[in-house]
Structure 1
Amino acid sequence: MSQKSTQKLVTDFKEKYKKEAEKLVNDVFPNKMIELDELFRSKKLSLSRTSDVCSDLKIPVPDPILFTGDSAMPHPSKKRKADSNSIDDISGTKVMILPNGPVPTNQQLQDLVNLLKPYIQELVDHANMVKMWISFLIPKIEDGNNFGVSIQEDTMAEARQIETEAASYLDQISRYFITRGKLVSKVAKYPHIDDYRQSVREVDEKEFISLRLICCELRNHYASLHDLIHKNIDKIKKPRSANAENLY
């Protein structure tokens, strides 16, 4: 492929990218903002549901009769390590066999995660697209008349910050499942201690509040970026006026 053909492909790509990004800001951003606002205000994320999002772990409390009276077994925790309630996995680690099967995730929170994750992933892509769009609009470096360029750079910095924050929401969700899994394993190991069960409920409630906040922040990010771009659209698209040389 000749150099001219390559240059034309690059130019066409940039022009197409600019048009798609501008349409994204004008059409997609307002729609996403409205969708997320409706979701934030819906019953799915109502604060009144906070105490109702906890789920049953299906881990029964051991019958105290088995460990009391004349037939009490000494050191039951040591005894149970080698009994039929555990098996060796591939690595040789002891794995507990629970009487009610696997412990389920909190389905209500899982549904909310499945609902919000596409919005998070889209915001990451959209912020990245805005960042690249503005970078294509930055003129060549020259002395003087750089006020418009500074506006472009500030808008790019805002888009970059939003991209980073949106990506951190995905990490926050994964940390919730890791934390909950560790606490559930504690409940399985010490089913007679209510504090561990309560800690799972507290983590679930906290995650519900976090997901509600994520929805609010996604809406706010779309709104703030859309507002910033539209207020400065002239300087973003044309950072230097055509008659700038007449000012000197």
Structure 2
Amino acid sequence: MLVTLDFSVNAVDYRIERGRKPNVLKFYIDNKLQEAQDESQGDSRETQEAIERTIRMSVDMFKQIVVLNTYTEPFLAMRAADQRTIIEQLLGITLLSEKAEKLKELIKETKDQIQIEDFKIKAIEEANKRVLEQVDGLKRRHRLWIAKRNSDLTELTSNLEILEKIDIEAELSAHKLLSEYNDNAKTHETYNSLTTRQQLWKNRNESEINGLIDDYNKKNEIDINRN
């Protein structure tokens, strides 16, 4: 069995096709079939929600005020909670509640997005802070390098001025004299060393000679006394 309902809202044509065995639920807007992504055995929750948003009433309210039949439970026979739901829908209270729920969800999503953006901002700030620290370090090293370069240039300039004032010929002559002096000093040192060794040899020989003379004299004295 298939039931078709055609209606218009704000100059827009709609058609609903619903059937059983097989289960069918189709929703057309200006003769264009609206596809849903969660279809299950011919029935679609998304399509049903789209229909309810279009006609601005739920299935229960539709059965109570539009389609009256013996299969629908009368309003007065319904439970108090179900009656309250129908009345809230009829007075628009449910719509306000739904909007409030959507606003709550939107607020929650907004807070989550704000928190995510805060994390991103903090991460960017930390990254920028590290970059600034690196830049400051590079600037500090650059200043130190400039100061060292200027100091080295000043020292080199001073040394260059001193070198320009030096008499090269006089320095060469002094270097030659120094070399000759060093050679003479080495020769003198060698001579002193030889002289010292000769003096030591002489002293040792004189000591030995004196010892021999003493021994000789002592021996002669002994021989004279015996005679």
Range into which the TM-score falls when normalised by the shorter chain: under 0.3
Larger Rg: 2
TM-score (norm 2): 0.24
- The structure showing larger relative contact order (alpha-carbon pairs under 8 Å, at least 6 residues apart) is 1
